Amino acid sequence: MNLRAIPQRLGTSWVIVIGIAVTVAVLVSVLAMVAGFSKTLSSTGRADRVIVLRGGSVAELSSTISRDNTINIMDAAGVKKDADGKPIASAEMVAVVALPLKKTGTAANLTVRGIGPKNAELRPEIHLIAGRMFQPAVRELIVGRSAAAQFQGVDIGSRITVRNSEWTVVGEFESGGDAHESELMGDIETVLSAFRRNLFQSVTVMLDSPEAFAQYKDKLTTDPTLTVDVEREPDYYAAQSKQLNKLLNFLAFGVGGIMAIGAIFGALNTMYSAVSARSLEIATLRAIGFGAGAVVVSVFVEALLLSLVGGLIGAAAAWLFFNGNTVNTLGANFTQVVFHLTVTPQLLASGIIWACIIGVLGGLFPAIKAARLPVATALRAA
Amino acid sequence: MKYFPLLWAALWRKKARTIFTLLSITVAFLLFGMLQGVNAGFNQAVEKANVNRLITTSSIALTENLPYGDMAQIEALPGVASVAHASWFGPYYQDPKNFVFSFPVEPERYFAIYPELVLPKEQLDAFTNTRTGAVIGAALASKYGWKIGDRVPLHSTIWTKPDGTSDWNFDIVGIYHCPTDRQQESAFFFNYKYFDEGRSFGKGQVGWYIIQVKDPSQSAQVAAAVDKLFANSPDETKTETEKEFQQAFLKQIGDINRIVNYILFAVFFALLFATGSTMMQSVRERVPELAVLKTLGFSDTSVLTLVLCESLLLCVLAALLGLGLASLLFPGLKDVIGLVSIPTPVIVEGIIGAVVLALVVGLIPAWKAKRLDIVEALRG
């Protein structure tokens, strides 16, 4: 019955709806960002793949490994061998090139990764979606799907100049949405010579099994000719993204939480005024025999319904505007990391649940007030 | 001012409603203070950039080095007053969490080109003459309790020595201050010579050049001349003003900034509705009271002003509360964004924002109050 009266109080009811819609929209979209980011990272790397860097170098970009050392690292026991008995491993270098972003036209950093000949066995998740693979000893690159979407001049057929050498992009690859999709890749020896380097930066190896890790790590760290850090890929990528994760979590929980508190105040306000506008009606209901419980329920239902509408609008807005959007920012290795916003059903549900919690909290005190309303005074005031 | 008690009483006519409205505005300005504070933190470097200085980096990316020999050639160009260089050392102290912003430099060149970094003459001399000498910012000194005479080991994440280790020892010979920007006081400078002799690879290279131009209006020409000098060489350069350099760096952080702006926009949109509806309601309820005021001889305009002032009082009070709260909480974000306090312009912007908000939400109810017909209102 009180629901039918909502249109009469449209103005104040909108306050709840809009307040909650905005809160839920922000919460859902920031959480979608967190989810997209962690998806990019969690899908980068497998437990049976290991990345080896120079000891204490923290990130690939600052690491250096000599050619002799890469051989020791790849030949150590525990590394999986392919059909012809060669270790499934890739000694790599990464460099940064600055290219213009499509969105703003300003230059941003993009990773160029030189990869070894065993890359196909090492990273089976990488496959071409257009064009062809680069050929060794030729200045050709393949571009990741995310990088192709974000940067100008990296489409198939375009040319990139690095230190007097011209490179042609010949293929585009995808790798299950992981961090490598934000990179360019080329043949390691050709990339090394173009950047005039003779040091590698990391070695990625495939182990016989995830359990072989401890033994493999011991082997490398006790080798007197090596000073290296050995990490499972998932651990490495998680550590690389700690800073960004912190910022995103602050946005999601800090900002989302503060907004939720603000929305609760808005809801309280609306429901209090709803109760006071209906005080005569409520008193009449009480006078003709409705219990306090019924009154509490009616206020609650109104608050919940309004918040639900707000939650739905907010969740829908987040889904409409942000689902599938890409966000890029400066990530590990001093280069752009791209992640996709995915508004999942779970996120939508959690947004709506949040809306209901806000509604319940906002409706609680006004409901109690309504129930306690002294019947006689309320009727007399009219 | 004599109407203040009247305004105050009107505001507290419905306590609960005013408190909740006040609190939701407070929350909005708390967010404003925090988020704009973060934004301002990113932007500060751009605003403080010096117009006399150019930065020359490798055209490939900031991470590629340039030959040391370029310096003499740049110095010989017309319009160039002086040149300095720096490199990225990327070290930490004891634990990877304790990252130190450290740069090998040539002491006299570097401190001459950055006059805002204040270092006593005798400390600069000691720096030049001590091979392993280092000069650190006052903030960094107090963070680790380092003082002149201390021997400090840093672990570089990039640069190894020929023996394969990357632990470098330094003797602190000076502490600099930067009175114009305290955020600049956390760097660790040491001798390029010690660095270049000690490292096992990359010898004879520097990270980037800093060029002081004779006349700021010639910056663009000088920058073009530098890039032309190295065009078609293996080490092509990109020269920009300090400001452009900082802006480009900021753009790389990219979308985070944009997202923060979206959120703020959404928050204030919701707030507009919430506060607006409260003010409308409050005026609607007081129609008879306002009519009485008019009967007593208050003019239409003074009633309008009264309602507007009420809205102003509410919004500004709440904004001050919110911004105050934000400045209290802000230091807690130090390790997320590395800024210790909300810059004053943000506070000023917040208060201006509150005034605008108050006028926008107060205007319609105030107009209604002004147009109020006494007879009609009293009859109702």
Query: What pLDDT, in 10s, does the model give residues A132-144?
Result: 999 998 999 999 9
Chain A residues touching residue B31 (CB < 8 angstroms):
255, 258-259, 262
Q: Where are the beta strands (DSSP E) in chain A?
A: 49-54, 89-100, 107-115, 127-131, 140-144, 159-162, 165-174, 183-187, 202-206, 228-232, 326-330, 336-340
Q: In whole numbers, what is the pLDDT of chain B averaged over residues?
A: 87
Q: Would you state the pLDDT for residue B126?
A: 95
Which has more confidence, A242 or B242?
Answer: B242
pLDDT, tens digit (0-9, with 9 covering 90-100), for A83-117: 888 999 999 999 888 888 888 788 888 889 999 99
Q: Residues 169-198, chain A: which have Cβ within 8 Å of B?
A: 195-196
Q: Would you state the pLDDT for residue A1?
A: 52
Q: Of the ranges A295-299, B85-89, B189-193, which one carries the lowest mean pLDDT score?
A: A295-299
Q: In whole numbers, what is the pLDDT of chain A averaged over residues?
A: 86
Q: Residues 276-295, chain B: which have Cβ within 8 Å of A?
A: 277-278, 280-281
Confidence of residue B63 (pLDDT cuts 50, 70, 90): confident
pLDDT, tens digit (0-9, with 9 covering 90-100), for B212-252: 999 988 898 999 999 999 988 888 899 999 888 888 777 77
Distance CA B62, CA B23 (A): 47
Asked if the Cβ–Cβ distance from B63 to A109 is below 8 Å, we say: yes
Q: Mean pLDDT across the stretch B133-141? A: 94
Q: Is the dihedral of CA A83, A89, A95, A96 positive or negative?
A: positive
Q: Which of B20, B254, B336 sits opposite A265 (nearest CB)?
A: B20
Q: Mean pLDDT across the stretch B19-42? A: 85
Is B241 in contact with B219 (CB distance < 8 Å)?
yes
Q: Above 70 in pLDDT, residue A2? A: no
Q: Is A14 on the interface with B (CB under 8 A)?
A: yes
Distance CA B118, CA A56 (A): 33
Best mutation target, A14, A22, A240, to test chain B (most B CBs within 10 A): A22
Q: Above 90 in pLDDT, residue A17? A: no
Asked if the Cβ–Cβ distance from B20 to A30 is below 8 Å, we say: no
Q: Is B82 on the interface with A (CB under 8 A)?
A: no
Residues of chain A above pLDDT 90, percent: 34
Confidence of residue B340 (pLDDT cuts 50, 70, 90): low
Distance CA A349, CA A368 (A): 28
Greatest mean pLDDT among A62-66, A326-330, B96-100, B174-178? B174-178
What would the two tokens of residue A336 be? Answer: 């752009």
Distance CA B377, CA B380 (A): 5
- Within a 13 Å sphere around the CA of A178, how many CA atoms are in the beta-carbon half? 18
Is A248 in contact with A38 (CB distance < 8 Å)?
no
Confidence of residue A57 (pLDDT cuts 50, 70, 90): confident
Distance CA B12, CA B19 (A): 9
Q: Would you state the pLDDT for residue A338?
A: 75
Q: Specify burial of residue B11 (Cβ count, 10 A radius: 0-12, 13-18, 19+).
A: buried
Confidence of residue A8 (pLDDT cuts 50, 70, 90): low
Best mutation target, B30, B60, B89, B236, to test chain A (most A CBs within 10 A): B60
Q: Specify burial of residue B49 (Cβ count, 10 A radius: 0-12, 13-18, 19+).
A: middle
Q: Would you state the pLDDT for residue A192?
A: 92
Greatest mean pLDDT among A75-79, A177-181, B246-250? A75-79
Q: Above 60 in pLDDT, residue A160? A: yes
Strand bridging mode B167-176 / A165-174: unpaired
Q: Does this complex have an ipTM over 0.90?
A: no
pLDDT, tens digit (0-9, with 9 covering 90-100), for A348-361: 998 899 899 988 88
Q: Which of A21, A25, A247 sits opposite B336 (nearest CB)?
A: A247
Distance from CA of A76 to the nearest CA of B (A): 20
DSSP A190-206: HHHHHTT---B-EEEEE
Q: Residues 105-164, chain A: which have Cβ within 8 Å of B?
A: 106-109, 162-164
What would the two tokens of residue B301 be? Answer: 């305009």
Q: Would you state the pLDDT for residue B355?
A: 93
Which has more confidence, B95 or A381?
Answer: B95
Asked if the Cβ–Cβ distance from A62 to B270 is below 8 Å, we say: no
Q: Which of B17, B61, B273 sits opposite A18 (nearest CB)?
A: B273
Q: Above 70 in pLDDT, residue A318? A: yes
Distance CA B346, CA B336 (A): 19
Asked if the Cβ–Cβ distance from B281 to A11 is below 8 Å, we say: yes
Q: Above 70 in pLDDT, residue B318? A: yes
- Within a 13 Å sphere around the CA of B379, how many CA atoms are in the beta-carbon half? 5
Chain A residues touching residue B273 (CB < 8 angstroms):
14-15, 18-19
pLDDT, tens digit (0-9, with 9 covering 90-100), for B176-187: 999 887 778 889
Helix (H) or strand (E) holding B155: strand B151-156
pLDDT, tens digit (0-9, with 9 covering 90-100), for A216-234: 999 999 988 888 999 999 8
Q: Which of B62, B236, B267 sits opposite A259 (nearest CB)?
A: B267
Residues of chain A above pLDDT 70, percent: 95
Q: Would you state the pLDDT for residue A71?
A: 93
Q: Count A/B contacts: CB-CB distance under 8 Å.
A: 167
Confidence of residue B339 (pLDDT cuts 50, 70, 90): low
Cα A98 from chain centroid? Answer: 24
Distance CA B162, CA B81 (A): 37
Q: Above 60 in pLDDT, residue A382? A: no
Asked if the Cβ–Cβ distance from B281 to A273 is below 8 Å, we say: yes
């995915």: which residue's tokens?
A342
What would the two tokens of residue A302 be? Answer: 């109104």
Q: Would you state the pLDDT for residue B380?
A: 59
Q: Mean pLDDT across the stretch B342-362? A: 88
Q: Above 90 in pLDDT, residue A294? A: no
- Within a 13 Å sphere around the CA of A323, how many CA atoms are in the beta-carbon half? 11
Which has more confidence, B349 or B376?
Answer: B349
Q: Would you state the pLDDT for residue B184?
A: 84
Best mutation target, A202, A269, A341, A372, to test chain B (most B CBs within 10 A): A269
Q: Which residues, other chains included, contact A10 with Cβ-Cβ below 8 Å and sequence gap of 6+?
A: none
Q: Above 60 in pLDDT, residue B335? A: no
What residue of B is the nearest CA neighbor of A262?
Answer: B24
Nearest to A45 by CA among A108, A111, A148, A125: A125
Chain B residues touching residue A15 (CB < 8 angstroms):
273-274, 277
Residues of chain B above pLDDT 70, percent: 96
Q: Is A265 on the interface with B (CB under 8 A)?
A: yes
């920009």: which residue's tokens?
B240
Confidence of residue A187 (pLDDT cuts 50, 70, 90): very high
If DSSP codes are grouped into helix, strand and coil, which group holds residue A155? coil
Q: Which residues, other chains included, contact A286 with Cβ-Cβ below 8 Å and sequence gap of 6+?
A: A292, A295, A373, A375
Distance CA A365, CA B16 (A): 11
Q: Above 60 in pLDDT, residue B135? A: yes
Q: Would you state the pLDDT for residue A258?
A: 85
Q: Residues 67-96, chain A: which have Cβ within 8 Å of B?
A: 95-96
Distance from CA of B344 to the nearest CA of A (A): 21
Q: Would you state the pLDDT for residue B278?
A: 79
